[in-house]
Amino acid sequence: MLKDIAMGLVRVTEAAALCASKQLGRGDKIAADQCAVDGMEKAFSMLPIRGEVVIGEGELDEAPMLYIGQKVGIWKEDMPEMDIAVDPLDGTKLVAKGLPNAVAVVAMGLKGNLLHAPDMYMKKIAVGPEAKGVIDITKSPKENILNVAKALKKDVTEVTIIVQDRERHEYIVNDAREIGARVKLFGEGDVAAAIACGFEDTGIDIMMGTGGAPEGVIAAAAIKCMGGEMQAQLQPETEEQRKRCLDMGIKNINQVLTLEDLAKGDDVYFAATAITNSDLLKGVVFSSKDIATTHSVVMRAKTGTIRFVDAIHNLRKSSLV
């Protein structure tokens, strides 16, 4: 049954993207996020799994749907138990403003296989398959860039780093520019940025920076499916956040988290559907007669299969929206 789940999972992200895209450019990020949640929750109800959300929209008292601990799927006894990590809309402001890189994403693994990451900052570095084995999050950006350049057999001036445009990342940008590497800045949507470094035709070689820990786990599932490498470190800022790390069983807060720590085993899945255009995927397009097109990617770690899915949706007949 597990081999058939991947295509069902992409229908979940398609539903979220179709619903959220109706709020494109309307200036209301809360409405956009709620539409994505509504669409994703409805699609999950048709998926043949016994799923539990381990990374979601928040705790039960914070989110009416897709909250941490929520059961999703059809839930029959013969169906596999799965951990679910969701970000129905990675880039709420991007949709509200009509900007690129907004995506709906889902990661899934067998029960117990996804890190139950708390909502705090996480330092991350990710690369595609060709640079696997040469990154080290404890080293400087400069050292990592030079090592990746060597692994890719590129001159450092041909290496492109993608990093979120935040003051906290000035040291990364300065290191990259000092040795002549190319820097691509993005505003929001670090899951899309991480995915991009796994595909040669995006022109992105390394993703670095500090962003949300839940998004880090979702990105790790994608990187694992692509055969790349990712390392991470939690960055708690308060005593309460440190306590949450201890409650998760992470006694050494400075521990370097590997892909196996973030997404264990081979039964890991990832799906993403673009809401607006990104480096990898084309956003939702509406045409006449209630027709919309979506562009998605769905991956499975066990087989290494990566499928790009172009879909045409008749919105009058669709059960997803």
The pair of three-digit structure tokens given for residue 186, joined into one six-digit string: 């993005």
> 267 among the known binding-site residues?
no
Q: Which residue has the tokens 């799906």?
A: 271
> 87 among the known binding-site residues?
yes
CA distance 41 to 65: 7
> 90 among the known binding-site residues?
yes
> 237 among the known binding-site residues?
no
> 52 among the known binding-site residues?
no
Tell me the three-class secondary structure of 194-251, residue by residue.
HHHCCCHHHCCCEEEEEEEHHHHHHHHHHHHHHCCEEEEEEECCCHHHHHHHHHCCCC
161-166 contact pairs (CB < 8 A, 24+):
161/205, 161/206, 161/207, 161/208, 162/186, 162/193, 162/196, 162/197, 162/204, 162/206, 162/207, 162/208, 163/207, 163/208, 163/209, 164/188, 164/190, 164/193, 164/209, 164/211, 166/209, 166/210
Annotated binding residues for Mn(2+): 33, 57, 87, 90, 215
Annotated binding residues: 33, 57, 87, 90, 215
